Structure 1
Amino acid sequence: MQKRPPVVTIMGHVDHGKTSLLDAIRHTNVAQKEFGGITQHVGAYQITYKDRLITFVDTPGHEAFTQMRVRGGRVADIIILVVAVNEGVKPQTVEAISHAKASGAPIIVALTKIDIPGIILEKVKKELAVNGLLVEGFGGDIVAVPVSAKENKNINELLDTILLVWDMRVESVEKKEFSGLVIESLLDKKKGPVASVIVQSGTLAVGDTIFAGNLECKVKALIGFNNEQIKSVEASTPVAVLGFKEVPLVGSVLASTSHEVQDDIKEEIIEVDGKGKKILNIVIKADAQGTLEAILAGVVKLKSEQAILNILHSGVGDITQGDILLASTAGGIVMGFNVRYPSETEFFAKGRKVIVRTYHIIYELLDELEGALEGVVELEEEKIKGRAQIVAIFNLPSGDIICGCNVYAGRFKVGDKVAIWDSEENLKDFLKDPKKSEFNPLFETKIKRIKQEHDFVDAAPAGKNYGFLFDPQYLTPSVNFIIHKH
């Protein structure tokens, strides 16, 4: 039995030639008549090169790529990291490197735009090495292929490298049960729910019954990347599947039997000197590059007999949902230094059960991290009893003021004592040390009534919007103010 084709995805900075490279590969190796339905129906396509198939998945970004991993899927066998040689490594490139490395898939670097005069390839390779990606000639074994989509230069060399990397991988060719991964999904007005799927093993045929978790699908039709209906597909083939009762989530793992949806990654244990050590995965964000370098210099000095520290990603800027996604795939934590942790990101982290900690003193961050490595300090998420953000204000003819609130953490109930704050940053500063903080709440009150849509309710759990009436009333509320339960 022949080995299945490799599934390849391309990642990198948005302006570094990813689309142009995909187009160059497609125009060189895919028949002209097949262009029309490629991306809009499936989001992937296959080429034939040297009598062998290669599947390319056009993922919309590294966050979507990681979202697939969160639910247990692995979208790519090989990742091509695109880096434009005239711009070098950018912050988005660094993020892509972190997501690609976390996936565990082999990486090939495509150094694009080599047609531009005056470019220096060695400079870009050095920048990659500084950011933890070691290519051949710079202490590593990752292949870097210089290409020009504009001049169609070295495209075949890149394809040769893909096949070489794939051929070096040992994989069983025995017949397996069907499994697949949803890479895109939508609700079509005429066709109903449509799922773009990569078949990962086995065979999928019209008439089969498959499941995305507990969501059942009786396959009514299969549409290939060339927009033609087909009866069955084998492993590594992209196909649009019709027959789902509802739109499945992107990243859903498909199987021939009903199964639980995977939402986390198991704790990693590796063998070091014959002893099992836990891996503590972290994402570090700081307010400035100099500060970040100081933190990383301290982190590399931390040693432990119980655990090994693995930095999934480090960067400058606020904590984002992308940071949360990356940490969630590896059961990791996010640590921020002098950066913003927006309320919408906090809500996202709560849903993913990702621990996020923020600091203003470097040695406190390092001390807590060292304690966690030694098992002395347990990094636990702050227990928030109830927190909400005001999103609308309604002044009633009766004189009552209703605050429309999005409850994003914890739970509120009628009679709860709450404090109103002008910002979450000030609230968090206060909670760290109420005696030393220069900030105080604007107003303290109780919840008199809670309304959800047209009904009065007794409680308001996280995840929905509610109307709060306070007693005594706060006469000057404002949108974005924070409601905090004591």
Structure 2
Amino acid sequence: MTKITVSQFARDLNMPADTLLEQLRSAGVELNSVDDIVTPAAKKKLLDKLQSSHGTGSAAKKITLTRRKTSEIRQADGSRVQVEVRKRRSISLDAQKSAIEQRKAEDLAAMKKAAEEEAARAAQAAKAAAEAKLAEEKAQQEVKAKAEAERKAAAEAKAKAEERAAQQQAQATEAQTQKSAAAAKKVADEQARQEAAEQAAEEAREAARRKAEEEAQAISAMLNRPRKAMRAEAAPEEKVQTKKAPKKESKSSTPSRRGDRADSGFTDGARGRRSAVAEERRGGGAAAAEQEDGWRAAGGRGRNRNRGGRQRQQQQPRPEPEFISREIHVPETITVADLAHKMSVKASEVIKRMMMLGQMVTINQVLDQETAMIVVEELGHKAVVAKLDDPETFLEEGFDFSDVPLVPRAPVVTVMGHVDHGKTSLLDYIRRSKTAVGEAGGITQHIGAYRVKTEGGWMTFLDTPGHEAFTAMRARGAEVTDVVILVVASDDGVMPQTREAISHAKAANVPMVVAINKIDKPEANPERVKQELVAEGVIPEEYGGDVPFVPVSAKTGQGIDDLLENVLLQAEILELKAQEDIPASGIVIEAQLDRGRGPVATILVQNGTLRRTDVVLAGASYGRVRAMVDENNQAVEAAGPSYPVEIQGLSDVPKAGDEVQVIPDERKAREIALFRQGKYRDVKLARQQAAKLESMFDNIQEGLQTLALIVKTDVQGSLEALVQSLQKLSTDEVRVDVVYSGVGGVSESDVNLATASNAVIIGFNVRADVQARRVAETNGIDMHFYNVIYDAIDEVKAAMSGMLAPEKREDVIGMVEVREVYTISRIGKVAGCMVTEGVVRRDSSIRQLRNNVVIWTGALDSLKRFKDDAREVRSGFDCGITLRGNNDIEIGDQFEVFEIKEIARSL
């Protein structure tokens, strides 16, 4: 029998695969994706569910038959058109009357039985009501007696309280009298001090006013003196010009020259009025002309006014504007134009100043805060870090939940240690599962978050990787944890990642419990482990310290109960509590992009309760929680403090370590997320721009090779670890350049980017789709996929080794002694030689020695034996040798024959 998947079944039923998958899940069939197999039992469950939901399981009352017929119609232009004809026919079936009658009889019997039960319940209720009435009367009598006793006690207490209040009132009156006297004296002193301060301030203001008046008078006198002298000098010229004005204006006095009238009336009105006053004082031809023809005379005066104004402009240069130092608030990023606007200068001034500082910018270029503050200081202003008016103040204001009570919460325990020391196996024994078998290479490459129920209650475990590449994951695990279990193998001792885990735990100020693992091995030596940990500052309790040491075996289970008991004891000392009935907040432990579910984030709730359909903000992404599951892939409706869950519905993959917070307003969450995205983008762009000049000369070093990589991983934590490990491989000769890194499978856009940047694609726990593989094969792009981080790092290191320039090494292969020297015309000197050691080859290099001193280095020109060319001559034979470009050969010289070999280098 052939197997059928959900997608094939949906295609047969002519319905969407997602809808069919949801119906199968609602019917109780456990299927995860549309590629899962649908069994006949699952089909039967779906049929029963649909029949029950539609109200009946009986046979259908109507059958509809659909028949399709396809034919072709040939058109006049030779083309063919497909025509499909559908015919539908419905057939009604008679209902089964016997079933209806049987159902009516069953309904009558059920109604009769219900009536009998109702009568019995009514009798029982009447009896209970009578008994309740008697009990109520008895309780009322007891309450009355108790109230009388309380009333008498209250009267006595009231009398005592009145007597005590009278005594306190007398004492308070006396204290108030003393206090009012002291206050009156203090007020009088303060009033006298204020009067003295006001008088001193008044005197200072009067002195400042007198000084300002003196300065104003001096400035006024200085300005008035040159104005009088200039008018006296300009008077004769104006007089001559006003006499000639009527003749010159005879042609230009027509109404067609509107510009002249506009100039005479509007360009320099103030100076024109001053000139008119001067002319009235002088009198003469100008006044007569004005009486004769006032319009023409006005035009003449206008020209004279303009000319006089230009003369005064030339004689009085405009003073330079006074520089005003401003306080400039500089945000994290700012464009050149905005910075110039804040300083009230032209953008060209800012660009010129940055060119003087050695940086070429444009008017719309984004500057980082540090660069902008340097430019502001260079231009003489005071730079201040601006306080951003951002929507994140909504988060800082928050809500007051101080009245919500604190409840105890489960401890968060992080298992840390060196790679292969048995962290995951120890946790597996506690969980009774086999997670270590499922990890590639048997090593943990993600942060696993588990919730385990022990005899002492619930505990949340975080399993961190031990490989050196996962430093950030271990630091993140130490930040969110309450207790750290440090696993050390008894046969291996303290290793580098063990020391790093100790430093992370101490930096986070988290208590530790040391688990000395693998004590079931014959070579186990727990005492040596204790001595090494004491050297690292971890003192066991038996030595007077505060760290419990527990020998355990993850294989046999020895010491596991003692380990959990010590962890619970440490958690009990900490008195861990959290608020439960408030909006949730937590941290992103891990995040990934799932092909079928979209962005998925594993979060640890630290405070409050996270519910499905809550709107959450995680770093620069937001969304409504559409689904929430635990580590066993079981749906969860609500998650309280110390509860790790996996949520779906975010807009993007958040970064591991981002804070998660429930926001009541979805619009506000979107606004904050978009603001963070823009800020991250601007800051990244500004940093890249600032680093361009610094890295310019590093990138053009002679002989520098660059290995461009595109890295794609399954989760955010692995991406962070892999990119950091690859970048650490860079040397002075070969540099690793991660062009792009992201979460998810390799897509066609990644291959196109690799083609443009000549990069190699590295995939970790991901694969490429069909289109991406086709494009990569067409363009010749290398794609490598790995499941273990060791393999990825080793292969990249091997590729970098291949890019290194080979090492050249000399290998001496023979020694030759010159016995005779012959001189031949058109050839030069030929050395008759004897090979004393090794071999002489024709393509070898040669070094000439005379008295054991090197006098020449070069190559052989010819090698002959008995007048025949020879490829090589071995030890003990004689030969004839000529040197290329050298005739200085004497008897007794020695030739050292060597070859230069290239040897591949490695990192």
1:218 and 2:624 matched: yes
Q: How many residues align?
A: 291
Q: For 1:405 and 1:115, locate their aligned partners in 2 and report how far apart those are by CA, in whole Å.
A: 47
Which of 559, 568, 581 is residue 154 of structure 1 equivalent to? 559
Find the counterpart in structure 2 of residue 238 from structure 1: 644
Moved more, 233-242 or 72-81: 72-81
Higher relative contact order (CA closer than 8 Å, sequence separation 6+): 1
Find the counterpart in structure 2 of residue 202 from structure 1: 608
Which of 653, 658, 661 is residue 247 of structure 1 equivalent to? 653
Q: Measured at CA, do residues 173 and 237 of structure 1 come closer, stay the same or move farther in structure 2, by a change above 3 Å?
A: closer
Tell me the secondary structure at the aligned position of residue 124 of structure 1. Answer: helix
- Quote how far apart the aligned CAs of 1:65 are: 7.2
1:77 and 2:385 matched: no
Matches within 5 A, 1:40-55: 43-50=448-455, 52-55=457-460
Q: Measured at CA, do residues 117 and 143 of structure 1 come closer, stay the same or move farther in structure 2, by a change above 3 Å?
A: same
Q: For 2:618 and 2:707, locate their aligned partners in 1 and report how far apart those are by CA, in whole Å.
A: 34
Aligned letter for 2:538?
A: L
Matches within 5 A, 1:49-448: 49-50=454-455, 52-61=457-466, 67=472, 74-117=479-522, 119-175=524-580, 176-257=582-663, 384=694, 386=696, 388-389=698-699, 424=732
Is the contact between residue 62 and residue 99 of structure 1 (CA under 8 Å) also seen in structure 2?
A: no
Q: For 2:529 and 2:478, locate their aligned partners in 1 and report how far apart those are by CA, in whole Å.
A: 32
CA deviation digits over 1:310-346, x for unaligned, max 9? xxxxxxxxxxxxxxxxxxxxxxxxxxxxxxxxxxxxx
- Quote how far apart the aligned CAs of 1:85 are: 0.9
- Quote how far apart the aligned CAs of 1:148 are: 0.8
Q: For 1:41 and 1:118, locate their aligned partners in 2 and report how far apart those are by CA, in whole Å.
A: 30
- Quote how far apart the aligned CAs of 1:241 are: 0.5
- Quote how far apart the aligned CAs of 1:194 are: 0.6
Q: Measured at CA, do residues 192 and 13 of structure 1 come closer, stay the same or move farther in structure 2, by a change above 3 Å?
A: same
Q: For 2:485 and 2:543, locate their aligned partners in 1 and report how far apart those are by CA, in whole Å.
A: 18
Question: Unaligned 5+ residue runs, structure 1?
Answer: 264-349, 352-380, 394-401, 407-421, 427-451, 456-477, 482-486
- Quote how far apart the aligned CAs of 1:149 are: 1.2
CA deviation digits over 1:132-166, x for unaligned, max 9? 22222234211111101111111111111111000
- Quote how far apart the aligned CAs of 1:215 are: 1.3
| TM norm structure 1 | 0.51
Q: For 1:72 and 1:55, locate their aligned partners in 2 and report how far apart those are by CA, in whole Å.
A: 12
Q: For 1:248 and 1:163, locate their aligned partners in 2 and report how far apart those are by CA, in whole Å.
A: 32
Q: For 2:476 and 2:486, locate their aligned partners in 1 and report how far apart those are by CA, in whole Å.
A: 23
> Higher helix share goes to which structure?
2
Greater C-alpha radius of gyration: 2
Q: Measured at CA, do residues 40 and 87 of structure 1 come closer, stay the same or move farther in structure 2, by a change above 3 Å?
A: closer
Is the contact between residue 183 and residue 250 of structure 1 (CA under 8 Å) also seen in structure 2?
A: yes
Is the contact between residue 416 and residue 463 of structure 2 (CA under 8 Å) also seen in structure 1?
A: no
Q: For 2:606 and 2:462, locate their aligned partners in 1 and report how far apart those are by CA, in whole Å.
A: 13
Q: For 1:167 and 1:179, locate their aligned partners in 2 and report how far apart those are by CA, in whole Å.
A: 23
- Quote how far apart the aligned CAs of 1:102 are: 1.9
Q: For 1:384 and 1:183, locate their aligned partners in 2 and report how far apart those are by CA, in whole Å.
A: 35
Q: For 1:119 and 1:70, locate their aligned partners in 2 and report how far apart those are by CA, in whole Å.
A: 29
- Quote how far apart the aligned CAs of 1:42 are: 8.4
Tell me the secondary structure at the aligned position of residue 168 of structure 1. Answer: helix
- Quote how far apart the aligned CAs of 1:392 are: 13
> Higher strand share goes to which structure?
1
Find the counterpart in structure 2 of residue 287 from structure 1: none
Find the counterpart in structure 1 of residue 413 from structure 2: 8
Q: For 1:107 and 1:185, locate their aligned partners in 2 and report how far apart those are by CA, in whole Å.
A: 27
Is the contact between residue 621 and residue 653 of structure 2 (CA under 8 Å) also seen in structure 1?
A: no
Q: Measured at CA, do residues 13 and 71 of structure 1 come closer, stay the same or move farther in structure 2, by a change above 3 Å?
A: closer
Aligned letter for 1:44?
A: A
- Quote how far apart the aligned CAs of 1:250 are: 1.2
Find the counterpart in structure 2 of residue 310 from structure 1: none
1:22 and 2:424 matched: no
CA deviation digits over 1:176-195, x for unaligned, max 9? 54111111111111101111
Find the counterpart in structure 2 of residue 286 from structure 1: none
Q: For 2:585 and 2:503, locate their aligned partners in 1 and report how far apart those are by CA, in whole Å.
A: 27
Q: For 2:661 and 2:469, locate their aligned partners in 1 and report how far apart those are by CA, in whole Å.
A: 21
Aligned letter for 2:655?
A: L
Residue identity (%): 42
Aligned letter for 2:493?
A: G
Tell me the secondary structure at the aligned position of residue 242 of structure 1. Answer: strand
Q: Measured at CA, do residues 141 and 71 of structure 1 come closer, stay the same or move farther in structure 2, by a change above 3 Å?
A: closer
Moved more, 193-202 or 61-70: 61-70
CA deviation digits over 1:184-227, x for unaligned, max 9? 11111110111111111111111001111231121000011111
- Quote how far apart the aligned CAs of 1:480 are: 7.1
Aligned letter for 1:190?
A: G
Is the contact between residue 578 and residue 641 of structure 2 (CA under 8 Å) also seen in structure 1?
A: no
Q: For 1:232 and 1:64, locate their aligned partners in 2 and report how far apart those are by CA, in whole Å.
A: 35
Is the contact between residue 85 and residue 113 of structure 1 (CA under 8 Å) also seen in structure 2?
A: yes
Is the contact between residue 419 and residue 465 of structure 2 (CA under 8 Å) also seen in structure 1?
A: no
Q: For 1:126 and 1:137, locate their aligned partners in 2 and report how far apart those are by CA, in whole Å.
A: 12
- Quote how far apart the aligned CAs of 1:36 are: 9.8
